[in-house]
Structure 1
Amino acid sequence: MSTGRIQFAEQDGTFVLKFVGEVRLTLCSALDATIERIFTSMNFSTVVIDLTETRSIDSTTLGLLAKLSILSRQKAGLLPTVVTTHEDITRLLQSMGFDQVFNIVGRPVPRPEALSDLPTQDQCEDVVKAKVLEAHKILMGLNDSNREAFRDLVNALEHQ
């Protein structure tokens, strides 16, 4: 069982996602649904992802964050902001090419007081597999290193 959670708030068109603890695959369905909700909002202006309390984050979650960045550029023409104060998380983001698709800042930014946990969502195995596959394909599209790192996983998922 994951010991992490994702919190969410919206204030005046600024959407904040705060990742706490160990953020893993089990939270991805709720994250994906929230990403869709953000970009169907009529008052969207920016997204901030707060990773200041994140201990670890898996590749599926990273792929969904890359999806969020792609949608933000398509719908609003801007790069979302990722806040990280931990060197290991910052290094992971840079190794995945996130410095090309996010504004990465190393100091906390003001955020709404009323963050609430994303609700858990039970998904069948096929839906989860599809989300994992989509997330990793997005990561592969960011750079050659990711393409190499996730090729075998994507091939295995596509042939199951």
Structure 2
Amino acid sequence: MSTGKIQFAEMNGTFVLKFIGEVRLTLCSALDATIEQIFSALNFSSIVIDLIDTKSIDSTTLGLLAKLSILSRQKIGLLPALVTTNPDITRLLDSMGFDQVFNIVNQPLPCSDCLHDLPPQDESEEVVRDKVLEAHRILMSLNESNREAFKDLVNALEKH
């Protein structure tokens, strides 16, 4: 069982997502639902993703973050801020090409007590598989290295 969680807050049009612990596939449905909520908001002006307390993050979650960045650029023309102080997480983000789709910073957020946990989502195996497939396709679109790293997984998921 995953020991991670994602917290969320909205403050004057700024949406904040904080990833805590080991953030894995089990949280992808809640994250995807929150992404939809963010982009349906009328007062949306910016997004901050806080990874300071993240111990590990899987590729499905990274793909959903890339989706969030792409939608942000399309909707408001801005790249989200991604906060990280963990050298391992920063290295992972750089290797995935996230420096091209996020403003990566290392300053903590001023308002950590205003966040609340995302509610769990009960999705079918097929829905989760579709989210995993979408997330990895998005990662593959970021660079050639990702395309090579995830092509076998994507091919396998497409066959099921």
Contact 1:14-1:46 within 8 A present in 2 as well: yes
TM alignment of 1:76-155, pairs within 5 A = 76-111=76-111, 113-155=113-155
Deviation at 1:107, TM superposition (A): 2.1
Aligned to 2:18: 18
Whole-Å Cα distance in 2 between the matches of residues 98 and 82 of structure 1? 9
AA in 2 matched with 1:23: V
AA in 1 matched with 2:5: R
Whole-Å Cα distance in 2 between the matches of residues 155 and 91 of structure 1? 27
Instruction: Report the secondary structure of 1:52's partner residue.
Output: coil
Which deviations, in whole Å up to 9, do the C-alpha atoms of 1:111-154 show, x marking residues without a partner?
Answer: 35310000001111000000000000000000000000000000
Contact 1:6-1:117 within 8 A present in 2 as well: yes
Aligned to 1:53: 53
Whole-Å Cα distance in 2 between the matches of residues 76 and 65 of structure 1? 16
What is the aligned-residue identity percentage?
A: 76
Contact 1:11-1:112 within 8 A present in 2 as well: no
How large is the Cα RMSD of the aligned pairs?
A: 0.7
Aligned to 1:40: 40
AA in 1 matched with 2:65: L
Which deviations, in whole Å up to 9, do the C-alpha atoms of 1:67-89 show, x marking residues without a partner?
Answer: 00000000000000000000000
AA in 2 matched with 1:36: E
TM-score of the superposition, structure 1-length normalised?
A: 0.98
Structure 1's unaligned 5+ residue stretches are none
Instruction: Report the secondary structure of 1:28's partner residue.
Output: helix
Structure 2's unaligned 5+ residue stretches are none
